Structure formats: structure tokens, C-alpha cells
Structure 1
């Protein structure tokens, strides 16, 4: 794959080369010489068909998760979230130890400790990872979904972006079946703090414990604001906001 650097910007296929635009600029690649019909029917491409089948299932799992946390997701995400999450889902499905190749699924892969660890710590906004923003210890109660940050000092324990005057904390407790799509979500009330040296203990308590037989996900949202004349405005449209999977049960 090549990248165009000249002043002429092409889109489409010309003389065996395909030109297209991405977030990284204008790229070019050679046109595939294998037809779709051959890929879907030729025994030589059986492994390719298996990979395509699992790819579709993994993409669906990632989409389910993004859909079911949308009340938080629209406040903290990056432009390449879909592809980053698909990569993680592809890795998780490898830990499905019971399904045949081509039929491995995230639902079974994430039942393993290794699968859960792959999703734990996932940042939905790669430009604001939790590890670089929150410099305080926190605990997660796996039974209730309560997230606690004890003796927290915003001024000393946050990576504060320029211009921010306030910060808010919220959490989500989700029970999601990656195979059936059945889910239930519960959210905590939002806690807003001024960015000063006041020390307090944050306790983020979901409204309820979600029911179901799926995977339990615990998420933490941190948002930065700038207050002007008593009104709080999201800082740079959420560019500095954090959304992280702090635990997977």
C-alpha cells in the first residue's frame, strides 16, 4: 500500500491501481486479481472463507458493545475506534477453545481469563488513555459495580488539559451477551468536581445491578469542562475525555 504525496488527488481504479481517501490521507493499492466468486467457492480459499466468517462475527460483537454504551461513547471516542475494537475482538475469539475454525466467537473466547484480560483496560479514546489521565488508585466491586476512588485530589492526581476548570466522573455496569445481543446497562449519577486541591472520596454507584447471563463490563468515564459565566462547556468537544473498561467479569 502506497501513499500519494503529489498535488493530484485521485479516487477510483485506474490501470489496476485503486486510489482512495482515508483519515491518514490519500492511499493507493493494487487491484485484487481474485474474483469474489472464486474466493467463496474454490477449495483453495477455504482458510480465507473461515477468516471472513469469523471477521464478520467479530465485527458484530464490537458493534454490539459500542451500541449498548452509546450514552457514554458519544462523549469519549476516537476516529479509529471501530478498527481498534475489531482488532481486540479478533484476538479474543482466538481463546474460543471449543468451536471449529471459521466458527469461533467472542462470546466463548471472553469466557477465558485471557480473553477477558484482552478487553480489560481498553480505551475508547486513544488520545486520552486512562493511565495518562487518572493518577489515583481505584477499586471496583464486581458484585455491585461500585467504583471507588479514595482520598482523591483533582489537582494532584489528574492530567489536566489546558483550559479545564471542572471534571466529571461517571460509570456504567453492563451485562452483555456477545452471541445473542441481549444486554442490560446501569449507569451511576455524574459527580462533578472543581479542579482544585480539595480531597474527597468518589463513590460511583450504578442505579442497579444488570441481570442476564452475559459478560459483565465495568466502565469509567472522565470528562473535562471549562466553566464560563456559570455555564460548563465540554473541552474541545470531548477530545480529552476518557472512557475505559476498568474491569471485565
Structure 2
């Protein structure tokens, strides 16, 4: 299957969480140095801005530039999951094809997680635990949908984003427990990566997350 053909497959079906995680680990091992460079480039761009934001909050607005870079990394993950191959040049191809979607999805993710985190801190700090817990649930739901949405959005660049979102929602509703389990597993993986590394770019957890999401969201026949 060619890369172009593989990226056209966007039907919402894929591997169960355990198999998706194992397939992602296999792909990551096979292309570890390439994903290390790509993951490092993304982290080098984003980590300084994230840290600077604690002293100058407007700097966090620049994190929106990470959306196109994340889309390029997601493109590489989808190519690897669907073809078993990866060239570093795919990162530039992904950036060219998906920078607009990456900017939009990155803004939605950043805005949603920012508002969700603020709501949890705001209501939790005032003892309104019901609303704080509700905010946690909504934040988790956003993460679940985003996990499925990114590989589908990258896998179908010519499809309207509204249709891609519908596919993502159908996937989540058809496999809610599996989607939740994979999301929680990847959250744990990334937290462990942050805890064990001096800085996030010393880990490959972001690339691993995109690979697992691609194997989960894309159809099995496209990822064989």
C-alpha cells in the first residue's frame, strides 16, 4: 500500500488499546532515531515557551505555533502506522499538508485544556467539588476525542474537518471504554516520561502517543 493510498483511509476502526500500544512500541523501536529527532524538534520549540509563560503569560500564546509541528509529527506517525516506513522528509510533507489543521486543532486543544485546568483549580480551590469533578470529566472527554481526532484529521487531509470530527465522535461512542483506557494509558506514559527525563525532548512519549492513536483510530487493514 502506498503512502498516499494509506493516508486516504479514514474509517473509524482500529486495534484495541493493548494491541495499539504494542504496535506503537514496535514502530517506535524500528524508527527510534527518526522519531527522537522529530520529538526533540517539537519539544525544543514548545518547552521554552511553556516555561517562559510562567514569567510572561502572553508567551503562552506562541504555543499555538506548536499545532502545525504536532500535525507534522502526527503525519509521520500515521505514515509509519499505515506503511511501516518513515523518512525524515515526511515531516516537511506533513507540515505543508496539515499546518492549517494543526494550527486549528492545536488552538482547540490548548484552549480547552487551559480552560479545563483553570476550572478545576478555580472550583476546587473554592470547595465546589461537584463542579471541579465535572470539569475533570469534561477535560478527560476532550483528551479522548483529541486522541482519535488527530490521526483521522491527518489521515484524511481532503475531507472536511466537520466530517473528520463526526468520525472521531463515532469512534469514541462506539468504543468508549477502549478510548478512555488508551487515553489514560498515554497520559500515564507521558507523565512518566516527564518525571524520568530532565526535559521532555529526552523522551519519545509524544511520538509514541501519536503512533498508538494512529493504530487505534485507523482501520486494521490500513495499518497491517
Q: What TM-score comes out, normalization by structure 1 length?
A: 0.26
Higher CA-based Rg: 1
Relative CO higher for 1 or 2, CA cutoff 8 Å, sep ≥ 6?
Answer: 2
Q: What TM-score comes out, normalization by structure 2 length?
A: 0.28
More helix by share: 2
